[in-house]
Amino acid sequence: MTEFEKMRNQQLYCFEDPDLLASTTRANELCAQLSTMTLASPEYRHTIETLIPGIPKSSAINPPFHCDHGNDITIGEHTFINYDCIMLDGGYIKIGAHCKIGPRCHFFTPQHPIDYQERIKPVETCLPINIGDNCWLGGGVTVCPGVTIGPRCIIAAGSVVIRDIPADSLAAGNPAIVKKTLIN
């Protein structure tokens, strides 16, 4: 199994692998190009679709944007991601349809070893992040490795989501906790 395959399969992998470094370099170069553009720039659509294959035409990411790879970020229809989003996407990141992602939101899939002797080595695992349809994440939300946020949730600005959030919830805080259910 390659280091890339290990990374995508939540196994311990070496992040200094040449193929992984090449993938990161490619993404960094595309993100740097995006940082000189606006949503109205003629080359924006081609660049974002090269970085994130399959991004729907109805969805947009407002530059600047940063990611490690881009090729396993999935974004649903009619989703808008605002300025300064960071997606450390060693693991899969899936964002549903009709989502609103505020400025400076961060999605972190890497998980470094707990044991300090293992942490010295260039290894980590990556745990996927899933955001359901019709979610709204306020500005500055951080989503940690392995978290699932159910559909129709609101995550208050500045929250740090370290655990799964069930559907139809309003969550806030550090760590984010469910404050109320949003069922009509």
Place of tokens 């990556």: 126
Per-residue model confidence as pLDDT tens digits over 131-146: 999 999 999 999 999 9
Place of tokens 């044991």: 115
pLDDT score, position 179:
97
pLDDT score, position 21:
97
pLDDT at 42 > cutoff 80? yes
pLDDT at 183 > cutoff 90? no
Structure tokens, 162:
């370290």
Q: Residue 100 is inside which H or E element, if any?
A: strand 100-101
Distance separating alpha carbons of residues 49 and 33, to the nearest angstrom: 13
Mean pLDDT, all residues of the chain: 97
Structure tokens, 7:
């990374």
Cβ atoms within 10 Å of 25's Cβ, excluding its own: 10
Place of tokens 């942490």: 119
Per-residue model confidence as pLDDT tens digits over 81-132: 999 999 999 999 999 999 999 999 999 999 999 999 999 999 999 999 999 9
Burial class, 82, CB count within 10 angstroms (exposed 0-12 / middle 13-18 / buried 19+): middle
Distance separating alpha carbons of residues 35 and 23, to the nearest angstrom: 18
Task: Report the DSSP beta bridge partners of residue 93.
Answer: 73, 129
pLDDT band at residue 177 using 50, 70 and 90 as cut-offs: very high
- By annotation, the residues acting in catalysis are 112
pLDDT score, position 184:
66
Set out the domains of the chain in order of their start, with CATH numbers.
Answer: 3-181 (2.160.10.10)
Percent of the chain surpassing pLDDT 70: 99
Question: Is the Cα torsion angle 94, 63, 48, 33 positive or negative in sign?
Answer: negative
Percent of the chain surpassing pLDDT 90: 98
Rg over CA atoms, the chain: 16
Burial class, 2, CB count within 10 angstroms (exposed 0-12 / middle 13-18 / buried 19+): exposed
